[in-house]
C-alpha cells in the first residue's frame, strides 16, 4: 500500500521552538520584578517613623534629665585661723592654725523647673525653641582639709582647741564656693547646658534653639 505524500503547498502544523535567549529574558524579567517588589517591601518596613514633636513631649523629654550637672570645679584654698589668748592664762591659750582645704563645687540646671510656657514648637513640629531655667550651684563641699601648721600659745604647751578645726572647715567651704563664683562657674554651667540640651534633639531632624536665663547675682 502506497503512503500518502504531504502536499508541498500545505503549511506545517509543527510550531517552531522558542530560542533559549527568549526564555532567559523572561526569567531575568521575572527576577527583576520580584526583586523590585521585595526591595520596596523592605524599604517600607525599615522606613524611619516620623515623630512630630509637641510642646508637652519636649517638656517631658527635657525634664527627664532632672538636675543637669554641667560643670564641676576642684578648688584648693588656704585657710588661716587665729584665736586671741587671755591675759589670765598668760596668753598661753592663743591658737593659730594654717590649713589647706580641697573642695569641689558643682553647678548646673534644675530642669524640673522647666515650664510648658518655656517651650515653643512650630505648627509643623520642625522648629523648637527652649528657654532654660537659670544655672545654679548644685553642691559644694570639702573633700578633705590638711593641717599645715598649728600653734598653741607662746610655748605650744596646750592642746589645740577642737573648735579651730570646725572653724577651718566652715571657712574653707565658704571660700571654695566664693572662688568658684568669682571665676564664673554659673556662666560656664549655662553655656554647657545650652549645648547638652541642644544635643538631646540632634537625632530628631528638627531645628532647635536653646536660650538661657541669666543666673542670680547671689551665686551661693
Cβ–Cβ under 8 Å, residues 130 and 201: no
Query: Can you give the pTM of this predicted structure?
Result: 0.64
3-class SS at 95?
strand
Contacting residues for 74 by C-beta, under 8 A, at least 6 apart? 102, 103, 104
pLDDT digits 0-9 by tens, 131-140: 999 999 999 9
Instruction: Give the count of beta carbons closer than 10 Å to the beta carbon of residue 92.
Output: 14
Structural domain boundaries of the chain?
A: 55-211
pLDDT digits 0-9 by tens, 89-107: 555 556 777 888 999 999 9
Pairs from 44-52 (Cβ < 8 Å, separation ≥ 24):
51/204, 52/125
pLDDT digits 0-9 by tens, 102-159: 999 999 999 888 888 888 888 887 888 999 999 999 999 998 888 776 666 555 555 6
pLDDT digits 0-9 by tens, 10-50: 454 555 555 555 555 665 566 565 556 555 555 555 544 44
Amino acid at each position: 500500500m502506497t503512503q500518502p505524500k504531504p502536499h508541498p503547498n500545505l503549511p506545517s502544523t509543527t510550531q517552531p521552538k522558542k530560542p533559549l535567549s527568549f526564555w532567559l529574558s523572561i526569567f531575568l524579567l521575572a527576577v527583576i520584578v520580584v526583586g523590585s517588589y521585595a526591595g520596596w517591601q523592605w524599604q517600607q518596613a525599615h522606613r524611619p517613623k516620623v515623630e512630630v514633636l509637641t510642646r508637652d513631649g519636649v517638656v517631658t523629654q527635657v525634664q527627664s534629665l532632672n538636675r543637669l550637672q554641667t560643670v564641676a570645679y576642684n578648688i584648693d584654698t588656704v585657710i588661716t585661723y587665729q584665736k586671741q589668748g587671755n591675759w589670765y592664762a598668760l596668753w598661753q591659750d592663743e591658737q593659730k592654725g594654717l590649713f589647706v582645704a580641697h573642695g569641689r563645687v558643682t553647678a548646673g540646671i534644675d530642669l524640673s523647673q522647666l515650664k510648658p510656657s518655656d517651650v515653643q514648637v512650630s505648627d509643623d513640629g520642625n522648629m523648637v525653641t527652649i528657654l532654660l531655667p537659670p544655672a545654679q550651684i548644685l553642691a559644694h563641699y570639702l573633700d578633705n582639709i590638711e593641717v599645715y601648721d598649728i600653734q598653741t600659745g607662746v610655748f605650744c604647751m596646750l592642746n589645740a582647741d577642737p573648735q579651730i578645726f570646725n572653724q577651718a572647715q566652715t571657712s574653707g567651704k565658704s571660700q571654695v564656693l566664693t572662688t568658684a563664683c568669682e571665676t564664673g562657674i554659673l556662666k560656664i554651667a549655662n553655656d554647657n547646658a545650652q549645648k547638652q540640651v541642644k544635643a538631646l534633639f540632634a537625632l530628631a531632624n528638627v531645628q532647635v534653639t536653646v536660650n538661657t536665663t541669666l543666673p542670680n547675682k547671689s551665686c551661693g
